[in-house]
Chain A
Amino acid sequence: AQSVAQPEDQVNVAEGNPLTVKCTYSVSGNPYLFWYVQYPNRGLQFLLKYITGDNLVKGSYGFEAEFNKSQTSFHLKKPSALVSDSALYFCAVRDAGNMLTFGGGTRLMVKP
């Protein structure tokens, strides 16, 4: 069975500093990996995905993620955090059966 782990419940970072939100996965076959963001009482918004190709994927709002096959990781990154980036972030993996499984989420707090 596939699974996603987000080891940090919360990440705190100062505005202007780089941020990283960690994600590791387990899936049989080739992984299809996604990051979503959720603001309070809202649905999930798609940020970026990795299907194949370049290990560094660029997405919305200046976010990017690095796929590392040997470490089975797909960490979300941004060079310079904004206060408005504060939200709940979910990593997800999709298997060959096309079921999307989410991690438990990481709350990102960006302090001014």
Chain B
Amino acid sequence: EAEVAQSPRYKITEKSQAVAFWCDPISGHATLYWYRQILGQGPELLVQFQDESVVDDSQLPKDRFSAERLKGVDSTLKIQPAELGDSAMYLCASSFNRGTGELFFGEGSRLTVL
């Protein structure tokens, strides 16, 4: 069964360092999402791509976060510099289109900032 791949699964870093997460969506899925999930809370959308274009990044803290999907396939989410409050699970998801279909999630990347 096709899956959304994410790496790394776990990342520990010190504040002010740079960190990057990678996501490879299910083949053929045009829409890709990055969500942030703080422990004990629901996921919150950071950025949504349609192919290589950003559809919604209104909740992305652009002073330190950046996301790209250059060829419309895999995607990278970067944080620089990391802050203590960035400790969370970063979830990538994909869907076939922007319609009514469900999102398929990867296993997530858990970030701990010390």
Bound-state CA distance A98–B95 (Å) is: 11
In residues 37-62 of chain B, which contact A (Cβ within 8 Å)? Answer: 40-45, 48, 55-56
User: Do residues A49 and B102 form an inter-chain contact, with CB atoms below 8 A?
Assistant: yes
Is A90 close to B, CB under 8 A? yes
Give every chain B residue within 8 A of A105 (Cβ-Cβ).
Answer: 40-42
Asked if A83 is at the interface of the complex by the 8 Å CB criterion, the answer is no
Question: Is the Cβ of A98 less than 8 Å from the Cβ of B43?
Answer: no
Let me know if B103 and A46 touch, CB within 8 A.
Answer: yes
Which positions 65-112 of chain A face chain B at CB distance < 8 Å?
90, 94, 97-105
Q: Is the CB of A98 within 8 A of B99?
A: yes
Taking A34-B102, A99-B56 as contacts, is the C-beta distance between A43 and B45 under 8 angstroms?
Answer: no
A41 located at the interface, meaning its Cβ lies under 8 Å from any Cβ of chain B in the complex: yes
Least distance between A110 CB and chain B CB atoms (Å): 19
Closest to A6 in B: B42
Roughly how many angstroms separate A103 CA and B31 CA in the complex, as a whole number? 22
| Beta-carbon contacts under 8 Å, B74-110 to A | 91, 93, 98-100, 102-108, 110
From A100, which residue of chain B is reached at the shortest CB distance? B103
Q: In the complex, which residues of chain A have a beta carbon less than 8 angstroms from the beta carbon of B103?
A: 44, 46, 100
For the complex, what is the distance from the CA of A4 to the CA of B4, rounded to whole Å? 25
**Contact present for B91 and A41 (CB under 8 Å):** no
CB of B109 to closest CB in A, whole Å: 10
A51 to chain B, nearest CB (A): 5
Verify if A55 is at the interface (C-beta below 8 Å from B): no
Residues in A with CB closer than 8 Å to B41 are 104-105
Say which residue of A4, A32, A45, A101 sits within 8 Å of B105 (CB atoms).
Answer: A45
With the chains together, A100 CA to B40 CA distance in Å? 18
State whether B105 touches A43 (Cβ < 8 A): yes
Contact between chains at A43 and B100 (CB < 8 Å)? no
How far apart sit A45 and B31, CA to CA, in the bound complex (Å)?
17
In the complex with contacts A99-B56, A102-B43, A104-B41, A42-B108 CB distance below 8 A: yes
CA distance A104 to B9 in the complex (A): 23
Q: Residues on B close to A: CB < 8 A?
A: 4, 6, 31, 33, 40-45, 48, 55-56, 91, 93, 98-100, 102-108, 110
